[in-house]
């Protein structure tokens, strides 16, 4: 499970666990998923995270915050963690002699910044540098990148391999990435400059995009190659590798709210990630791995893209939101990679709200009924009505941006029934589970 900062990852894991546990306790939650189980009983328990060495997702603490009075949202997360659930699914009545089906669901909170490293696996240093330097000149980006760009363009093309130049350029580039993230931009690479891997920083870390021709450029290119190798290696590590299915959480509504630059950038980030996740590994890649006496990398078998916080808009808009996400994710995708045989990974695009804050209602505005939502703002007893506008079903054009779009109030979560034991009010988690686990079920 991955998503950029503030996409709603912690809320998602908390709600998913609470609702599955409630389902196991016989509560009427996740109706679509319960239907898919077709009357089979399911037992659910939190499992220890096993031998992975990753810290365990602190579900009780996050759930307690949501069920406080008034409810509180989770704090920002900075470290990866693992949520593990054991499911025991009974067999249908015919097969009374059959053993139950046991399933261990392990959900890794995978930093979204790292997802944006996947496209680097197919990009060499020169192409990457050219693309980044072009982006840093875009009007919305340039003011944040001035220091690094001034340094980089003052370097002579044939600059020699000098450690202090590499370190200075790296420091300036990294500071630029942080500023861009603070400004709401998302397509920021390499991801580990923003979200470092656990442990000490490797010696090859200090690099930055550069189009020179001398010794400095080749030093930076070698470090970039080492970075890409580390990304590749980690994908096969038990800790961050072995990802079997991926859920990508995207906060498209906030991107729409933030304006055309932030939206365009978020769209580019989603489509870059989607492009990297789209194809099952080809037989050539598998053969190459065996040739290196390594097991071929595990294949990601399903990818779900979910637009989060969709309780900010009324039900009629949520279909548009899912369609917008599909259009954005498929935007930058070309044909199958030109090596070997590759098949597309089953992919779904949904609109969800892991922690629902609002209810739908019909609001009469200027004498006309519109579908709106209402909820309480944090620290306010009154119900606030909200009609943020029409959600476009494809990347919006200039006419859309001409009218200010979407207020997104900070709503308070709806109170979870029975202090959380009755689940957490949500939208669309059942459809997401049905898609992710379809083959297993
Ligand atoms: N209305 C609504 N708001 C949500 C929902 N999920 C998350 N939010 C809002 O989004 C904020 C961020 O959610 P988190 O779950 O903390 O996001 P995160 O991806 O874990 O964030 P980081 O750990 O900082 O990267 C919350 O504080 C809420 O304000 C949702 O389902 N509905
Ligand atoms: Mg978090």
Residue 365 in any domain: the answer is: no
In the predicted structure, residue 18 carries a pLDDT above the cut 60: yes
171 and 208, same structural domain? yes
pLDDT at 281: 60
Domain boundary among 202, 234, 266: 234
Measuring CA to CA, which residue among 373, 352, 371, 362 is closest to residue 425? 352
418 and 314, same structural domain? yes
Q: What's the pLDDT tens digit per position in 3-17?
A: 887 899 999 999 999
Instruction: State which of 2, 4, 9, 11 you would mutate to test the pocket of ligand 1, scoring each by most atoms of that ligand within 8 A of its C-beta.
Output: 11
Ligand nearest to the CA of 2: 1
- For the chain, what percent of residues have pLDDT higher than 70? 87
Grade residue 173 by pLDDT with cuts at 50, 70 and 90.
Answer: very high
For residue 146, give both structure tokens.
């001035």
Ligand nearest to the CA of 8: 1
pLDDT at 8: 94
176 and 255, same structural domain? no
Q: What's the pLDDT tens digit per position in 202-231?
A: 999 999 999 999 999 999 999 999 999 988
Q: What's the pLDDT tens digit per position in 179-189?
A: 998 888 888 99
Backbone angles phi, psi at 104, to 5 degrees: -105, 115
Residue 371 in any domain: the answer is: no
Domain boundary among 173, 200, 234: 234
334 and 425, same structural domain? yes
422 and 324, same structural domain? yes
Residue 388 in any domain: the answer is: no
| Ligand 2 centroid from CA 105, angstroms | 19
Grade residue 339 by pLDDT with cuts at 50, 70 and 90.
Answer: very low
Mean per-residue pLDDT, 150-176: 97
Mean per-residue pLDDT, 337-355: 79
pLDDT at 180: 93
What distance in Å separates the CA atoms of residue 64 and residue 61, rounded to the nearest whole number? 5
In the predicted structure, residue 144 carries a pLDDT above the cut 50: yes
Q: What's the pLDDT tens digit per position in 384-399?
A: 999 888 899 999 988 8
Q: What's the pLDDT tens digit per position in 20-56?
A: 999 999 999 999 999 999 888 899 999 876 656 778 8
Please spell the DSSP secondary structure of 50-101, one letter per residue. GGG-PPBP-HHHHHHHHHSSS--PPPPP-S--EEEEEEEEPPPGGGTTSPPE
pTM: 0.87
pLDDT at 236: 63
Residue 430 in any domain: the answer is: yes
Domain boundary among 234, 261, 283: 234
Q: What's the pLDDT tens digit per position in 260-303?
A: 988 988 898 888 888 777 766 655 565 665 566 555 555 678 99
72 and 179, same structural domain? no
273 and 218, same structural domain? no
| Residue ranges making up the domain that contains 218 | 118-234
> How many distinct structural domains can be found in the chain?
2
Q: What does the DSSP 8-state code read for residue 411?
A: B
Residue 24 in any domain: the answer is: yes
pLDDT at 359: 96
| Ligand 2 centroid from CA 73, angstroms | 10
Q: Which helix (H) or strand (E) holds 331?
A: helix 315-331
210 and 263, same structural domain? no
Ligand nearest to the CA of 249: 1
pLDDT at 404: 62
Of all atoms in ligand 1, which is nearest to the CA of residue 75? 16
> Who lines ligand 1 at CB under 6 A?
3, 5-11, 73-74, 76-77, 308-309, 311-312, 353-355, 357, 410-411
102 and 23, same structural domain? yes
pLDDT at 162: 96
Residue 27 in any domain: the answer is: yes
90 and 128, same structural domain? no
In the predicted structure, residue 332 carries a pLDDT above the cut 90: no
107 and 142, same structural domain? no
Q: Across the chain, what does the average pLDDT equal?
A: 87
Grade residue 342 by pLDDT with cuts at 50, 70 and 90.
Answer: low
74 and 20, same structural domain? yes
């Amino acid at each position: 499970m991955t998503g950029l900062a503030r996409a709603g990852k912690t809320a998602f894991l908390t709600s998913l666990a609470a609702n599955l546990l409630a389902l196991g306790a016989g509560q009427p939650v996740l109706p679509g998923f319960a239907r898919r189980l077709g009357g089979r009983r399911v037992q659910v328990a939190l499992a220890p995270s096993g031998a992975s060495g990753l810290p365990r997702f602190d579900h009780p603490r996050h759930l307690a915050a949501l069920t406080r009075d008034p409810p509180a949202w989770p704090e920002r997360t900075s470290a990866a963690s693992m949520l593990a659930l054991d499911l025991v699914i009974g067999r249908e009545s015919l097969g009374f002699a059959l053993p139950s089906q046991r399933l261990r669901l392990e959900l890794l909170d995978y930093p979204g910044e790292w997802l944006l490293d996947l496209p680097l696996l197919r990009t060499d240093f020169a192409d990457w540098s050219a693309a980044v330097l072009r982006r840093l000149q875009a009007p919305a980006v340039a003011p944040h990148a001035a220091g690094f760009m001034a340094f980089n363009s003052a370097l002579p093309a044939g600059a020699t391999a000098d450690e202090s130049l590499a370190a200075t350029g790296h420091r300036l580039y990294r500071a630029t990435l942080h500023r861009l993230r603070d400004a709401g931009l998302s397509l920021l690479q390499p991801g580990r400059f923003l979200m470092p891997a656990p442990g000490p920083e490797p010696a090859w870390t200090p690099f930055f995009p550069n189009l020179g021709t001398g010794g400095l450029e080749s030093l930076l290119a070698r470090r970039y190659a080492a970075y890409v190798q580390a990304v590749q290696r980690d994908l096969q590590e038990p800790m961050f590798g072995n990802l079997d299915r991926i859920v990508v959480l995207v906060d498209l509504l906030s991107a729409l709210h933030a304006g055309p630059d932030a939206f365009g950038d978020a769209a580019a980030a989603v489509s870059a990630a989607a492009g990297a996740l789209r194809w099952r590994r080809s037989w050539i890649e598998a053969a190459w791995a065996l040739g290196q006496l390594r097991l071929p990398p595990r294949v990601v078998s399903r990818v779900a893209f979910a637009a989060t916080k969709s309780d900010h808009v009324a039900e009629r808009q949520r279909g548009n939101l899912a369609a917008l996400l599909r259009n954005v994710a498929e935007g930058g995708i070309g044909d199958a990679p030109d090596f070997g045989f590759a098949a597309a990974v089953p992919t779904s695009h949904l609109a969800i709200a892991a922690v629902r804050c609002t209810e739908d209602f019909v609001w009469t505005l200027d004498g006309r009924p519109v579908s709106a939502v209402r909820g309480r703002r944090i620290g306010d007893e009154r119900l606030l009505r909200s009609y943020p506008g029409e959600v476009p079903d494809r990347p919006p054009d200039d006419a859309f941006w001409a009218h200010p779009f979407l207020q997104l109030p900070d709503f308070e979560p709806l109170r979870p029934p029975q202090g959380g034991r009755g689940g957490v009010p949500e939208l669309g988690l059942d459809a997401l589970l049905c898609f992710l686990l379809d083959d297993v079920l």
